[in-house]
Amino acid sequence: MRLKLILAAVLLGGIALAQGQLPEPKDGVTIYVVRSGDSLWNISKRFFNSPLLWPRLWELNPFIDNPNLIYPGEVLALKSIPPKAPTIPVVKIAPEIGVKKIEEVQPPPPVVYYSRGGDVGFIAPDEWEDMGAILSSEPPKILLGEGDTVYTNVGSEDNVQPGDAFTIFRSSKVVLHPITGRRVGYKVANLGEIEIIEVLGKRMSSAKITGSYREITRGARIRPLESFVKEVVIKKGIEKADGYVVESLNNVELTGKGDVVYVDIGEQDGVVPGNTLSIYEHPRYAYDPDAGRNVVIPGALIGKMVVFNIRKDTATGIIVESARQIEKGDVVSVDL
């Protein structure tokens, strides 16, 4: 009997939690990109300290047909944002002249979190310089992953010490501009990270794979660890900049919400992590019979992306909104 009462209390408490308002999510995160193994239950536990709040999270994201089925790459709202938030005026009165000043209280900027931040990669103008490579593993095998022990060709000659961390990467195909045909650079794929266990010689050390984003094989290149952004605060652009989508993370022609893409504007254009870019169809021509010539039809707005990583003249971002599939050659413009 006592057990039944306890179970009833827990169920009633869970129902009350689910029917109430969601608390503020942890760390100000308002948008979350689903990764493999996620569920509404564990996302609620992570950001709201209670898995029992998952029905409220489902209610905030009506595009989810089945709460038991969410997919990697889907973008979830963690906070309800009213269509038009009321402003709270602050009135300052200067008695000597009787002038009133009204200042609007601005809400904190939204935060975008991408759990696979190290996986987004980037485009480098030249082949990314490496320090060494993975030679073999213990035991020997073709495909390597997190937790595996490997041997590298960096050692005392490179001033390597136990505990030093390295990025594992692969430079893939040359990226050509979809409009001009010029070379944009080399696509760099981040595969994971290693940590040196023991220095075995001038050009030899053992290491452990501490993180794995993609398949790692013998011969993969390494260089000193570079930190990758997983969370950005949305920022307005400070200057106008336009460019093009030039490539995607997964080497596909068509992309959409949740996909990672690369654009040909970057630091030299004033772009910073957290900027949002509007994505437009590439303008097309149509024949005007009255004018007797072709006229330009402007591209329609088809999506939005958030910048996570920047280089001198390129940037990496995740598509957070898409009205249709986005392809290489579509136009991007910094939101001011």
Over residues 178-184, mean pLDDT? 90
Instruction: Give domain limits for the chain.
Output: 14-82+90-108, 118-224, 234-334
pLDDT at site 123: 75
Of all helices (H) and strands (E), which one includes residue 10? helix 2-19
Total number of residues shown for the chain: 336
The 10s digit of each residue's pLDDT in 15-40 is 444 445 667 776 666 788 888 888 88
b/e for 177-190, b at 16 or more Cβ within 10 A?
bbeeeeebbbbbbb
3-state SS class at 315: strand
Distance, in Å, from the CA atom of 216 to the CA atom of 209, rounded to the nearest integer, reads 10
For the four alpha carbons of 272, 74, 328 and 174, in that order, the dihedral sign comes to positive
Distance, in Å, from the CA atom of 296 to the CA atom of 221, rounded to the nearest integer, reads 46
The average confidence (pLDDT) of the chain is: 80
Fold classification of 118-224 (topology level): Thrombin, subunit H (2.40.10)
Contact between 186 and 211 (Cβ < 8 Å): no
The 10s digit of each residue's pLDDT in 104-142 is 445 555 665 554 545 566 777 776 677 899 999 999 998
pLDDT at site 174: 85
Maximum Cα–Cα distance for the chain, whole Å?
A: 88
Both structure tokens of 280: 């437009």
pLDDT at 56 exceeding the cut of 50: yes
Fold classification of 14-82+90-108 (topology level): Membrane-bound Lytic Murein Transglycosylase D; Chain A (3.10.350)
Name which residue leads in pLDDT, 259 or 72. Answer: 259
Establish whether domains 14-82+90-108 and 118-224 are of one fold. Answer: no
- pLDDT-based confidence at 214, cuts 50/70/90? confident
Name which residue leads in pLDDT, 32 or 276. Answer: 276
Distance, in Å, from the CA atom of 158 to the CA atom of 79, rounded to the nearest integer, reads 49
Contact between 204 and 278 (Cβ < 8 Å): no
Name which residue leads in pLDDT, 229 or 34. Answer: 34
Decide yes or no: CATH 2.40.10.170 for domain 234-334: yes
Distance, in Å, from the CA atom of 130 to the CA atom of 133, rounded to the nearest integer, reads 8
The 10s digit of each residue's pLDDT in 77-96 is 887 654 444 444 554 545 54
Distance, in Å, from the CA atom of 222 to the CA atom of 220, rounded to the nearest integer, reads 7
Over residues 330-334, mean pLDDT? 94
Contact between 321 and 304 (Cβ < 8 Å): yes
pLDDT at site 117: 47
